[in-house]
Structure 1
């Protein structure tokens, strides 16, 4: 390149990257931006002729998305469009672990694609993996509430640290604040030279402009500012945010949810290509894919508490991978990588993926413009809204009972509020307790 810059620095200093950070909230005034129209894919319909078949469709071995009822349809589609679409990673593989199209009467996909890129035969798709209320999560919660309950997690933590330290560690780490953005990331190898690739899940980093760092740091304790480093590209100061670390278990907040169609369970031994499940180190042969669930600490439990609020302040992410040459030790490579990529000045050098802020806004428009319940109803139905209200009524009842107990203890409520403030609880939450206290006293 004539500028002498590396291709990685050129990517992070590009105009497209810088513009993405300014687009999100301006979209409320921009009703002309339209989503990209793609032909929907079906697991039971031939991609070429459209014939429906529930049992006998063959699949493209490289992308695992296109379906064909016979060889003639496959050849015709390959010549017409699939050769280019497969190489450009236009569609992700079809898997129940990463559903990117609406199902049945649904209006929205379970995993809307908010970022997508490919390089050197490796492709990546990014979606959100939060809850239906769009709230950021906390470090105190299990990584996956569906598969682990709080009691199981607490027992594991208590076995790792003295009981007297378990709560204080949470307080010091601001582990009870809503500050975790949860992403679902699918990575696939489509190389045609049969080369395997190694993916280092825990070395994934979010990237944004350095001017947003003060906001991102508000959700961290003063003793835990690691995980964010600065680098320069094209005269711009940028920031990279590393995967969040569990303060009790001292491991990244990461799960491998699915490997090439196989759901990965916590209590079962992972397949051989997953060489380090805790750190997300996975080898992929051509055609194979992995689905990660990864959390990043980017919220502050005050002004930045939602998935779309966090996504709106980010510009992209960097996926760490390498071609796997025979004899290389994956665990050693992951360790070497971890000693370099988290230092100030290091320019991310993996697969750079830009967030599509148009897609993000369109998915969350009901919440942004009409409120939380409007979003829940349009995306999940009226029954989920009723369940949401019931949940809040139950939490209100529990809160009132707890406050009555504290009020009957000499100075108990005042001490409780003081402890809330000291633990880093947001001003918004403290004020809610104060308002509830006033209401009960009236």
Structure 2
């Protein structure tokens, strides 16, 4: 993979921050956007700005073709069987809430179980907490191993015939744990439960085939995979989506409206009320083209090389604690002695290095780790070994700055 050429496609990387070349290590929060995506969105507004599905004029037809063309690209990108199974949302959070409010509310009752894990992002915890309160269902957590992985024996013990919904992340945004989704899905189905996968940290970094995984729902966001913010995807098996009622009502999602009753459009449009996120979908389509040209296998291989190198270098730093398993996705979460991660991140920022600091929208996991917050460096296809070396140098500078705690 020609990383130098790839980096040249990301104009934001060609700048200095605080007098240093930018080292962007926060792609798990949001990825940067290649010029192809920026231009695709710009061209939509410049040449094709129109609402979709409603007009018969030329520009409206162009916009509709771009929007629905992006849906087809998503279908192919994740290996779905039917284009009707691709629902555009505002992001992973909206997609999970849609399933919780529609499928969850109608399929759960007193005594039923919802199974999730302690490594989940808040977006895959709070919707299930709320649905459990409304329906009387019980929320259960799959225990974690000491290294932050999930053992399938614990999955089998936690999921029971009472379990109706399993909701787990594909990749932990804190630990980098890559969960055995295919195996968890099999166990869920053996107990007649459906499974939703939070793929926000999965789809951008590895090939995902939803048919091979056999998951019932898969949610992800465009902005973590080189696309604009505000666009996401819910994949759902067609037979399940057809059973579900919309949770947002208004224009575009209706078939016929009478004074006292209405009927809905067919899939996927019954879940896309109002003017959809047209420019975002156009940008997502362009991002998929970009990532397809690079090759997801190449992205995975590059990130694996970077994170392995980072682990080797970071373990040499005295009093630096790394959280999560040895085999992981392309991120490293850590704390430097007793220095608050916000302070660590501030010193790194002074060196032009952007990392994340805080609880990463995973407070139950922070409690399990027995910390209040951590720092996180996350890698993507445009990062280099030099970026890792700069991170290590920045952390050594932080050690000098906070020398009294070492």
TM-score of the two chains, using structure 1 as the length reference? 0.26
Instruction: Report the TM-score when normalising by structure 2.
Output: 0.28
Q: Which structure is larger by alpha-carbon Rg, 1 or 2?
A: 1
Question: Which protein has the bigger helix share?
Answer: 2
